[in-house]
């Protein structure tokens, strides 16, 4: 498979950006709690717009050109995230530290998968990777806020909550990216199509079943404009690339 020589650089840049944005979310909720609580909704809506558009317009069609079974893998990716989320929610019905540990495990797995998505999508094409990574990086702010609040709710002290939030939500994303990148170098185009299909299903789930309902549920003013702004960005980039 043809590989852009700058692919790894793009993966590294967005992996580092994800750490910075996630850290910004954590620090914002620590220092400016009221502002961060309001801002996270708009970050989530914008990210949802990008992430629902990218797999439907770009990632999944590209995957299908590589492997005709990629659609089945997309369904598998969606169901994997659905049942993983159900499992986590079931266990987070418990209180205090047990709640924080299980919630942290879910966020850690989610962030690790984000890193894998960076590696896989940039490997397919720079544009696919850029759009997917943009949506994921934007939602890192909200994820940092949410992770910190999980640990605070579990009874940890402020400094300890910050430390674990950084460890679980921030550092797992570049870890996933750098672990996955050398492994996918050895895969054929057909296998990459299957993996990209799976990741497309994951992205659709993250947007449609995680980011968007939670954001819209807050019923914040102009939240739908933020969502449509994310969709418009994805459409603009795709159309400008194909023009």
Question: pLDDT tens digits, residue range 184-236?
Answer: 878 888 988 898 899 888 888 878 877 777 667 766 777 888 888 888 888 88
pLDDT at site 10: 92
Tell me the residue length of the chain: 243
Torsion, Cα of 21, 22, 24, 28 (10° steps): 140
Distance, CA of 182 to CA of 230 (rounded, Å): 31
Give yes or no for residue 96 having a pLDDT over 50.
no
Q: What is the pLDDT of residue 221?
A: 74
Which residue has 């672990």 as its token pair?
179
Residue 42 has pLDDT above 80, yes or no: yes
Average pLDDT value for the chain? 82
pLDDT band at 241 (very low <50, low <70, confident <90, very high): low
Is the separation of the CB atoms in 170 and 19 below 8 Å?
yes
Interacting residues of 62 by C-beta distance below 8 A, sequence separation 6+: 124, 125, 128, 193, 196
User: What integer pLDDT is reported at residue 144 of this predicted model?
Assistant: 85
- Cα gap 3→124, rounded to integer Å: 8
- Which residue would you say has higher pLDDT here, 128 or 101? 128
The answer, yes or no, to whether residue 99 has pLDDT greater than 60, is: no
3-class DSSP assignment, residue 93: coil
């Amino acid at each position: 498979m043809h590989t852009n020589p700058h692919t790894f650089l793009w993966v590294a840049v967005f992996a580092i950006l994800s750490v910075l944005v996630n850290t910004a979310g954590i620090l914002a909720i620590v220092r400016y709690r009221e502002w961060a609580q309001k801002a996270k909704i708009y970050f989530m809506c914008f990210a949802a717009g990008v992430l629902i558009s990218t797999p439907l317009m770009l990632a999944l069609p590209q995957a299908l050109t590589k492997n005709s079974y990629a659609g089945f893998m997309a369904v598998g990716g969606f169901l994997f995230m659905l049942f993983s989320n159900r499992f986590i929610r079931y266990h987070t019905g418990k209180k205090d530290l047990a709640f924080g540990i299980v919630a942290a495990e879910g966020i850690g797995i989610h962030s690790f998968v984000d890193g894998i998505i960076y590696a896989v999508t940039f490997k397919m094409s720079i544009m696919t990777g850029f759009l997917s990574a943009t949506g994921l990086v934007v939602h890192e702010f909200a994820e940092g806020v949410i992770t910190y609040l999980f640990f605070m709710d579990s009874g940890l002290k402020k400094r300890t909550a910050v430390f674990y939030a950084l460890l679980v939500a921030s550092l797992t994303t570049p870890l996933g990216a750098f672990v996955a990148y050398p492994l996918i170098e050895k895969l054929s185009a057909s296998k990459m199509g299957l993996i990209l299909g799976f990741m497309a299903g994951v992205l659709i789930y993250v947007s449609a079943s995680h980011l968007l309902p939670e954001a819209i549920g807050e019923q914040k003013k102009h939240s739908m404009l933020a969502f449509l702004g994310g969709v418009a960005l994805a459409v603009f980039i795709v159309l400008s690339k194909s023009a």
